[in-house]
Amino acid sequence: MVTIYDIAAKANVSAMTVSRVINQPERVSEKTRERVLKVMEELHYVPNGMARSLVLQESKILFLLVTDIRNPFYTTLARGAEDAAAENGFRLLFGNSDESPDKESNYVETILKTRVDGALIAPSGDASLPSLERLRKHKVPFVLLDREVPGIECDVVLGDSISGARQLVGHLAELGHRRIALVNGSLAVSSARYRQEGYREALKTFGLAYDERYVLEAGFGLEHDPAAIEAWLKRLDPLPTAIVAGNNVLALHVIRLLRARGIRVPEQVSVAGFDDFGPFAGADPFVTVAAQQAYQFGHTGMRLLIERIRARGEDRPRKRIVLPTALILRKSTAPPV
Amino acid sequence: MVTIYDIAAKANVSAMTVSRVINQPERVSEKTRERVLKVMEELHYVPNGMARSLVLQESKILFLLVTDIRNPFYTTLARGAEDAAAENGFRLLFGNSDESPDKESNYVETILKTRVDGALIAPSGDASLPSLERLRKHKVPFVLLDREVPGIECDVVLGDSISGARQLVGHLAELGHRRIALVNGSLAVSSARYRQEGYREALKTFGLAYDERYVLEAGFGLEHDPAAIEAWLKRLDPLPTAIVAGNNVLALHVIRLLRARGIRVPEQVSVAGFDDFGPFAGADPFVTVAAQQAYQFGHTGMRLLIERIRARGEDRPRKRIVLPTALILRKSTAPPV
DNA sequence: TTGTATGCGTTATCAT
DNA sequence: ATGATAACGCATACAA
């Protein structure tokens, strides 16, 4: 490996001068600077980031941990985070917890070991508490995305789940639906709780009774077993005329399972969900959704994180940013028969 | 920051003993080992990966560079790579070049600077040559995915694009189509070249003439301007009765643009493409595709890379693995009117 | 079994 | 403007 000492020897200067050429070029005479640069070129020198980080105690690398890398909500969010990082001279390391607190905990160890400058985290849920406390204890700056965790006070970017749920239920109620069900993520996830809250409020607003048989606590993850949803659908009698899904994964599961039972969407049952489907929704976007500003989640969160890092030591109040959802009407919802 | 010296002091041993407890526990007496472990626990010690990498000259971190993180083909591939990395005790760093050789080149600099142990790269195209040569010059092990680059001899995992194109054209020809067009990626990308080759061969097989007016070289990227496709569609007279798209992005563009012009798919024009749409294809998968084994791309590529790293120095022959495509018939293709 | 000296590649500090 | 030295946190080689 080529080091600054190799450069130094060949250019007849000290290693320090080489280091200066890299970091404070103006403090080196033009003549030697050019000579050193030429040698660096010849030897194809590339600075060793680890050595640099070791002495500087900073890496200019940040970490983004999402719960499902295949979910377009998170990839779009990732693009936002990536752009904001690049705009500020940071690099991004990526992790994917698959909604599993265990995998998440592993990634937190990686974050600690690699001494990245900070982390942007979409927590798997309330069970993330120990991992986040660990980051806190080690003074790793972090910002939460999409979900907050009771017991952790920190910067966080959330979607307005309560309002989003109200929009969806309101839309369905105005179409005339009176039996509106909810298939949700685990209530150990803050967004699921808020969505359930908005759902209940909206039912009340429209004079509809809350019936817990019409509410299922499934899970947000792609890998979660849809069998629970299937069993739930099977035992519902009468069927709801509309179903609100807690996220995009659940919406697709519900539509698929309804159709598998020969139930037509939206003719017999309307379906609406949270989160949009990204650029690969298909040529014919089908599902009515309360869309979240995925890109903004990542971009805003990353900006908050970088602010935190820059204001290290200062005791700024935490920020809690809530991004609005947008109701997008498509073909999966229609008036009841 | 807590270091092995802090542990050493509190446990009344030398730093070396602490290091041994971490790396060769069996070479430390049980009594002192337990004492040291207890102190590590108390002080919440986490080894400094950068210092470790600096002396060991290895990081156990690999890099995956894809050309579009929002494309489900690449996220599914990423999951495969991630799993294979974890199975072998490696961590993954992530990058996204957006089909841009410039961004790609930036990431290659990051790969170099951070001294990761190796890289898994889906190149943006033939223009990746200088970046890859740079990696080669610095002896960074890498494996190419999905696309090969003339001038670079290395392990590579490809899809069988020729056969895939034959499948798609064959399917359409057997439905009775005789004017089959091709909207492709840039011919500066190997997969696009192979797909074009398979397209031409299949036309010949079915006794159809190759007409270059029915072939458009657009681009694979999500950000590429669909205007070129639109203009091309507009000037085609007569319209083809079927269009083969070089990837999933192009397939969706084509369908959307056709519909925007009031042309119905598949009633008036059939559309089929490469790559599937991942778990978020929608509840009602619409597009007929030659699906690639995305997960296998990542998993197999990662295994090749790790083999390379382990066999460092040995001069093994390069491997060129070609994964088959699977024709999945759906609703976007039908017999011509 | 445990400890000492040294080096990994870089930068900060102080000197010249 | 340039250089010598120490330090970042850890592991290897050798010694005790």
- At A285 the pLDDT is 80
Confidence grade of residue B53 (pLDDT, cut at 50, 70, 90): very high
Three-state SS across B63-123?
A: EEEECCCCCHHHHHHHHHHHHHHHHCCCEEEEEECCCCHHHHHHHHHHHHHHCCCEEEECC
Strand pairing of B326-328 and B288-291? antiparallel
Q: Answer whether A7's CB lies under 8 Å from A36's CB.
A: yes
User: How far is C-alpha B144 from the chain's CA centre?
Assistant: 8
Separation between Cα atoms, residue B308 and residue B316, nearest integer Å: 8
pTM of the entire structure? 0.94
Are B286 and A287 in contact (CB < 8 Å)? no
Residues B16-44 have pLDDT tens digits of: 999 999 999 999 999 999 999 999 999 99
Q: From B264, B241, B326, select the one nearest B289 (Cα to Cα).
A: B326
Confidence grade of residue B104 (pLDDT, cut at 50, 70, 90): very high
- At A77 the pLDDT is 97
- At B277 the pLDDT is 92
- At B291 the pLDDT is 97
Helix (H) / strand (E) containing A291: strand A288-291
Sheet with B242-245: list strands edge to edge. Answer: B215-217, B180-184, B242-245, B270-274, B288-291, B326-328
Q: Which of B53, B79, B93 sits opposite A70 (nearest CB)?
A: B79
Selected for mutation to probe chain A from B112, B284, B295, B330 (highest A CB count within 10 Å) is B284
pLDDT above 90: residue B280 = no
Q: Touching check for A190 and chain B: CB below 8 Å?
A: no
Separation between Cα atoms, residue B223 and residue A175, nearest integer Å: 37
| Nearest-5° Cα angle at A12, A7 to A14 | 70
Separation between Cα atoms, residue A108 and residue A124, nearest integer Å: 12
- At B222 the pLDDT is 86
Q: Which of B47, B113, B115 sits opposite A113 (nearest CB)?
A: B47
Q: Touching check for A47 and chain B: CB below 8 Å?
A: yes
Separation between Cα atoms, residue B106 and residue A89, nearest integer Å: 12
Number of A–B residue contacts, CB under 8 Å: 142
Give me A45's structure tokens. Answer: 């020198």
Chain A nearest-CA residue for B48: A113
| Nearest-5° Cα angle at A265, A264 to A266 | 120
- At B283 the pLDDT is 74
pLDDT above 80: residue B122 = yes
Span B308-320, average pLDDT: 93
CA of A32 to C1' of D7 (A): 27
Q: What share of chain A is helix, strand, coil (3-state, %, to 5)?
A: 45, 15, 35
Separation between Cα atoms, residue A233 and residue A238, nearest integer Å: 10
- At B224 the pLDDT is 85
Cα torsion angle, B133, B137, B138, B140, sign: positive
3-state secondary structure of B213: helix
Q: Answer whether B41's CB lies under 8 Å from B22's CB.
A: no
Q: Answer whether B195's CB lies under 8 Å from B274's CB.
A: yes
Give pLDDT tens digits along chain A (337 positions).
999 999 999 999 999 999 999 999 999 999 999 999 999 999 999 999 999 999 999 999 999 999 999 999 999 999 999 999 999 999 988 889 999 999 999 999 999 999 999 999 999 999 999 999 999 999 999 999 999 999 999 999 999 999 999 999 999 999 999 999 999 999 999 999 999 999 999 999 999 999 999 999 999 998 888 999 999 999 999 999 999 999 999 999 999 999 999 999 999 999 999 999 998 887 778 999 999 999 999 999 999 999 999 998 889 999 999 999 999 999 999 999 8
Nucleotide nearest to B26 (CA to C1'): C1
Q: Touching check for A94 and chain B: CB below 8 Å?
A: yes
- At A284 the pLDDT is 75
Q: Touching check for A72 and chain B: CB below 8 Å?
A: yes
How many other C-beta atoms lie within 10 A of the C-beta of residue A214? 20
Q: Which of B49, B138, B222 sits opposite A46 (nearest CB)?
A: B138
Strand locations in chain B (E)? 61-66, 91-96, 118-121, 142-145, 156-159, 180-184, 215-217, 242-245, 270-274, 288-291, 320-323, 326-328
Separation between Cα atoms, residue A42 and residue B181, nearest integer Å: 49
**Chain A residues with CB inside 8 Å of B278's CB?**
70, 280
Residues A100-155 have pLDDT tens digits of: 999 999 999 999 999 999 999 999 999 999 999 999 999 999 999 999 999 999 99
Q: From A227, A265, A224, select the one nearest A246 (Cα to Cα).
A: A224
**Chain B residues with CB inside 8 Å of A109's CB?**
46
CATH number of B61-159+295-324: 3.40.50.2300
Residues B69-86 have pLDDT tens digits of: 999 999 999 999 999 999
**Chain A residues with CB inside 8 Å of B255's CB?**
283-284
Are B282 and A48 in contact (CB < 8 Å)? no
Q: Which nucleotides of C are covered by protein (CB under 7 A)?
A: 1-5, 7-13
Q: From B265, B270, B212, select the one nearest B241 (Cα to Cα).
A: B270
Selected for mutation to probe chain B from A61, A284, A286, A288 (highest B CB count within 10 Å) is A284
Span B151-159, average pLDDT: 98
Q: Assess if CATH 3.30.930.10 describes domain A161-292.
A: no
B 222-261 residues inside an 8 A Cβ radius of A: 222, 248-249, 251-252, 255-256, 259
What is the percent of chain B with per-residue pLDDT over 90, rounded to a whole number? 93
Three-state SS across B260-275?
A: HCCCCCCCCCEEEEEC
Separation between Cα atoms, residue A222 and residue A99, nearest integer Å: 9
Separation between Cα atoms, residue A58 and residue A217, nearest integer Å: 43
pLDDT above 80: residue B300 = yes
CA of A6 to C1' of C3 (A): 33
- At A92 the pLDDT is 87
Residues B220-241 have pLDDT tens digits of: 998 888 999 999 999 999 999 9
pLDDT above 90: residue B93 = no
Shortest alpha-carbon distance between residue A2 and chain B (Å): 10
Helix (H) / strand (E) containing A159: strand A156-159
| Nearest-5° Cα angle at B103, B52 to B74 | 80
Mean per-residue pLDDT of chain B = 95
- At A207 the pLDDT is 97
Within chain B, all domains assigned CATH 3.40.50.2300 are found at: 61-159+295-324, 161-292
pLDDT above 90: residue B57 = yes
More confident residue, A278 or B119: B119
Strand pairing of B91-96 and B61-66? parallel
Q: Touching check for A55 and chain B: CB below 8 Å?
A: no
Are B47 and A265 in contact (CB < 8 Å)? no
Are A94 and B93 in contact (CB < 8 Å)? yes
Q: Answer whether A305's CB lies under 8 Å from A118's CB.
A: yes
Separation between Cα atoms, residue A259 and residue A279, nearest integer Å: 24
Span B183-193, average pLDDT: 98
Nucleotide nearest to B36 (CA to C1'): C2
